[in-house]
Structure 1
Amino acid sequence: MMARRLLLVSDEMEVGGSQRQISYLLGGLDRARWQPELLFFRSESFLVHELRAQGIRVHHLPKRGRFDLGFVLRYAALLRQGRYDLVHAYSLTAELWTAVARWLVANAPRQVSSVRNLYLDKSPLFWGLKRFALLRSAAVISNSRAAAAATAAEVKLPMERFDFVANGIASAQPLATLERAQLRQALGVPEGRTFGLFVGRLVEQKNLRCLVRALLALPAQDRPWIALAGHGPLDRELQHLCEAAGLREDMHFLGERSDAPRLMQAADFLVLPSFHEGMPNVVMEAMSVGCPVIASQVGGTPELVEHDATGLLFRSDDSDALAAQLRRLVAEPALRARLGRESAARIRSRYSIARLVDATVAVYERCLRADTHAAPESRQVTQPKLGGGA
C-alpha cells in the first residue's frame, strides 16, 4: 500500500501550543503509511528548522493582506501538484483558504479542520466563516471538550461532528541537580528567591497584566521572581509596564527560547493567567516534568489541572486570587513538591505523543474510507478521560 500524502496547514509557525502539536504529530507519523508535509503562511521559528531536519517537506506560501488572489491560486496549484489525500488545517485562516483552494482543484483532497481554543469575543463574521469551513470538512478535531462545546453552540452544529483528541507531550531529558543550579544562575535567578516561569506568546490572550497586578498586591518580601520566556506584540508594552510599576527586580524578559522543558525543570512553578485557552500545551509540558502549575480556570485547563491535587487554579482575571496562590507556593516548598509529583504522574498515565498520533490517524483513516456516512457513535476517538478530577 502506498503511503498516504498528508498536508498539515498552519497560519503561522511561531512557537505556540498548536505549533508544537503539529511538530509532534508530523514527527510521530509512520512514514511507511504517511507522507507528511507542512504548509504555513507566515512567521516561522526553530520548529520549522527541526521539521526540515527530520526530512519533512515544508512549504512557505506568503499571504499578503486579507484577500490575496495570487495566494489562493498558488495554494490551489500546490494542492493540484501535491496530489494530497488529506489536508489538516490548524487555524481559521488555514481552514478557510483550504476550503476555497479546494474548489479550484479536481479530485480535491478531503479536509480536516480544528478547534484549538475557546475563541472568546469573536465577531459574527468569525463564526460565519468558521461554520463555512467546518461544514466543508470531513472531520473536526478538538483538543478539549470545553472548546468543542463552545464552538458547536456558536456554529450551530451537533457535538457528534467533533472528535476529541487530547494534546500529546514529549518526554523531556531530566535536568541534573548541578545543571538546574547552573541554569538558574545563568538566568539570573536571585539567590533564595522562588522562581516562577511564564512560557508563551506575549499577547492579550495570556493576560499578563493580571500577573503584574498580582505581584503588586504582594509585599516585596513575598513576591516570587518571574521570568517570561517568549515574545509577541506586547513585549515592549509589558516591559514598560513593569518598569513603571517598580517590578524591575521581580520580572525578567527572556525572549523566545527553544529550551522550555529545561526552563520548567529549573523553575519552582509555572504560571498561566490566560483569559482563555483550549488545551494548553505549556501546562502539559510543565506538569510532565513535575513543575507545579498556577493557571486561570478557563477552557480546557481544568480538564488537565485538578485544583490542590495536580496544580492550583484561580478565577480568570482575578489578580487577588492569583496573588493568594502565588503566596502559597512561595511559602510552602512541600506543597510545590507534592503538586509536582502528582502532576507528573497524571501526565505520564494519560497523555503521550503516541496517543496523539494514534487518535489523529484514526480520524484520518475514517475520513479516507469509502464509507463516510458512519453513525455518529463511530466518530468518537478513544482517548483518556479529559476530566481534572478523574
Structure 2
Amino acid sequence: MKILVYPHDMNLGGSQLNAIELAAAVKDLGHDVAVAGQHGSLRAKVGELGLEFIELPEPGRRPSRKVVKALERAIAQRGIDIVHGYEWPPSLEAELACFDAPATAVSTVLSMSVAPFIPTHTPLLVGTEQIAAAERDFGRALVELMEPPIDTRLNRPGLELPVREMSQRWGIRNGGLTIAIVSRLAREMKLEGILRAIEVIGRIQGGEPVQLVIAGGGPAAGEVAAAAAAANRRTGQLRVVLTGELEDPRWVYQKADIVLGMGGSILRAMAFGKPAVVQGESGFWRVVDESSLPGFLFQGWYGAGAGSGQGADALQAQLRPLLADAALRQRLGDFARRVVVERFSLQASARRQVQFYRQVLAQGQGRNRLGAEYTLAAARFARYKFSRLAARMRGSVAADDFNATAALRSAGASGRPAVRA
C-alpha cells in the first residue's frame, strides 16, 4: 500500500508523535509511507525514522483549499491509496482531497471528543473504548480502537541518554527527587493541572529535596513561566525548571522519579518504568495502579475531578505516599512498564493499523458519498464556526475545543464507571 500520513501539527505533541512513529512502523512492515505537513520541530524525527516528508503550504483557515490542492497533487503523482489525517483539520482536508481521487481518506482522532462534522462515512480510529462507543452511537460507519502506541524499544529503562549533561545544563539536582511533566503548554486541558503542580511543588517542605521539571512549549508558556518564577522566588530555590520544547525529551523521563501527565506522555513515562500520576481537568489527579487501570483503559489517560479549586490538594494527596516510599515507586514503575509492553507496543499497533487500512480498501470506493451526508456535515461545520465566532465575541473561545470538551462527560458514552479522583 501507498500511504500518506498527515499529522495535525509538526511540533511536539502526543497525537503527532503517535502519527509519525506509527507511520515508521507501518513502513517497516513493507509499505510505502510518507508524512505530509508544515514545517516544525518534529520534521527532524521524520527524517531520523527514514520517512519521506512532503511539505504542505501554511493552511490559514481550516479546512484549507491550498492544502487540499497540495494533497490532490501528491495523490496523483504518487498513486496514494490511503490519506490518513490526524485530528479534525487534516481529516477534513484528506476527505476533500480524496473526493474525486482514487484514494481513501482515513481519520484518527486522539482528542477527547470527535468533531461531529467529520463525515460519518470517513473510517475513524479513536483512542479509547468510551469514545468509540459514543461515535458508533453517533452513526459512524466504521469506528475502531487504536490506543496510543509506544515504541517500547526506544522508550525503556536503561537507555544511554544524556541525562547528566542535560541535568547540568538546566540546573537539575543529582540528589533528591525529580517530578517531571512533558507536555504541550496548551491552555485547554493542560494549563490548569500544570499550574496546580507548580503550586504543590512550592508547598513541599521537609523530606528529600524535590524539583519539578516541565518540558514543552506552547501558547501558555508565558503563564507557566510566570508561575514557575513566582514559586522559585517564594522558596528561594530552583524548585521548578522549564526546559522549553525538546527535540528528544526521553532523558527527562529517564531522569524522573515520578511523572505527571495525560495521554501519550503518561504512556511514555510508563514505558520508562516510572510511577505515573494522570492529570485531567477540574482538579483530577490519580496514580496509575491496579485499581485505577481498568478505568483508564476505558476512558483514556485522563479524568474529570470535583473542581479546579481542589486540584492542588488532590495532587498533593496522590504524591505524598510516592514521595515518602521508594519501594512503592519501584513497584508502581514496574507495574506501569508491564502494562505498556503488554498492551501498547508500537509493533502490535502497526499491524492493527495495516489491518484497518486493508479493511477500508476492501470496501472499495463506494464510501456512501451521498449529497445529504455532505450537506449535514457542512451544516454541522457551519454551526461550529458560528459558535466559535459567538464565543470569540464573548472572549471565551477555546483554542483546542475538541480537547476542551471531553467525551467522558458526554451522554451515551458512560457505559462503564469513569476513574474518579
Number of residues of Structure 1 aligned to a counterpart in Structure 2: 350
1:327 CA drift (Å):
2.2
Q: Does 1:266 align with 2:255?
A: yes
What is the RMSD computed on CA atoms of the aligned residues?
3.6
Q: Does 1:243 align with 2:232?
A: no
* Structure 1 runs not aligned, ≥5 long: 120-126, 374-386
Q: Aligned residue for 2:332?
A: 339
Output the CA distance in 2 between the equivalents of 1:302 and 1:242: 20
Q: Aligned residue for 2:60?
A: 65
- 1:40-90, Cα deviation, whole Å (9 max, x unpaired): 1x3511x32232344422111123421544443333233222321111110
Q: Report the TM-score when normalising by structure 2.
A: 0.72
- 1:195-249, Cα deviation, whole Å (9 max, x unpaired): 0000011112213122223334544767731001111111122111222343662
Residues 197 and 271, structure 1, Cα contact 8 Å, conserved in 2: yes
Distance of aligned partners of 1:356 and 1:304 in 2 relative to their CA distance in 1, 3 Å threshold:
farther
Q: Aligned residue for 2:103?
A: 109
- Equivalent residue for 1:9, pick from 6, 11, 16: 6
1:267 CA drift (Å):
1.0
- 1:141-190, Cα deviation, whole Å (9 max, x unpaired): 1121133345556xx225x7310122221223643799756654454233
Residues 275 and 333, structure 2, Cα contact 8 Å, conserved in 1: yes
Output the CA distance in 1 between the equivalents of 2:81 and 2:134: 30
1:258 CA drift (Å):
3.1
Output the CA distance in 1 between the equivalents of 2:6 and 2:317: 41
1:344 CA drift (Å):
1.1
| Range 75-84 or range 197-206, more displaced | 75-84
- 1:107-140, Cα deviation, whole Å (9 max, x unpaired): 4311111220214xxxxxxx7xx33423241x21
Q: Does 1:256 align with 2:245?
A: yes
Q: Aligned residue for 1:383?
A: none
- 1:301-359, Cα deviation, whole Å (9 max, x unpaired): 99993356879998644221101122222211121111111111222222211111000
Residues 278 and 302, structure 2, Cα contact 8 Å, conserved in 1: yes
Q: Does 1:349 align with 2:342?
A: yes
Q: Which amino acid aligns with 1:111?
A: A
Q: Tell me the SS of whatever aligns to 1:133.
A: coil
Residues 148 and 344, structure 2, Cα contact 8 Å, conserved in 1: yes
| Range 314-323 or range 77-86, more displaced | 314-323
Q: Which amino acid aligns with 2:148?
A: N
Output the CA distance in 2 between the equivalents of 1:175 and 1:332: 22
Output the CA distance in 1 between the equivalents of 2:157 and 2:28: 29
Q: Does 1:131 align with 2:116?
A: yes
Q: Tell me the SS of whatever aligns to 2:355.
A: helix
Output the CA distance in 1 between the equivalents of 2:46 and 2:161: 31
Distance of aligned partners of 1:222 and 1:214 in 2 relative to their CA distance in 1, 3 Å threshold:
farther
- Listed as ranges, the matches of 1:97-246 within 5 Å are 97-103=93-99, 105=100, 107-119=101-113, 130-137=115-122, 139-152=123-136, 156-157=138-139, 161-170=142-151, 171=153, 172=155, 174-175=157-158, 184-190=167-173, 192-204=175-187, 205-207=189-191, 208-219=194-205, 224-245=210-231, 246=234
Distance of aligned partners of 1:320 and 1:43 in 2 relative to their CA distance in 1, 3 Å threshold:
farther
Output the CA distance in 2 between the equivalents of 1:259 and 1:309: 29
Residues 172 and 241, structure 2, Cα contact 8 Å, conserved in 1: no
Residues 287 and 340, structure 1, Cα contact 8 Å, conserved in 2: yes
Output the CA distance in 2 between the equivalents of 1:14 and 1:240: 23
* Structure 2 runs not aligned, ≥5 long: 367-416
1:31 CA drift (Å):
5.6
Distance of aligned partners of 1:10 and 1:182 in 2 relative to their CA distance in 1, 3 Å threshold:
closer
Output the CA distance in 2 between the equivalents of 1:148 and 1:223: 43
Q: Aligned residue for 2:399?
A: none
Residues 197 and 227, structure 1, Cα contact 8 Å, conserved in 2: yes
Q: Which amino acid aligns with 2:128?
A: S
Output the CA distance in 1 between the equivalents of 2:157 and 2:279: 27
Q: Report the TM-score when normalising by structure 1.
A: 0.78
- Equivalent residue for 1:285, pick from 257, 268, 277: 268
- Equivalent residue for 2:351, pick from 343, 347, 358: 358
Residues 39 and 60, structure 1, Cα contact 8 Å, conserved in 2: yes
Identity of aligned residues (%): 22
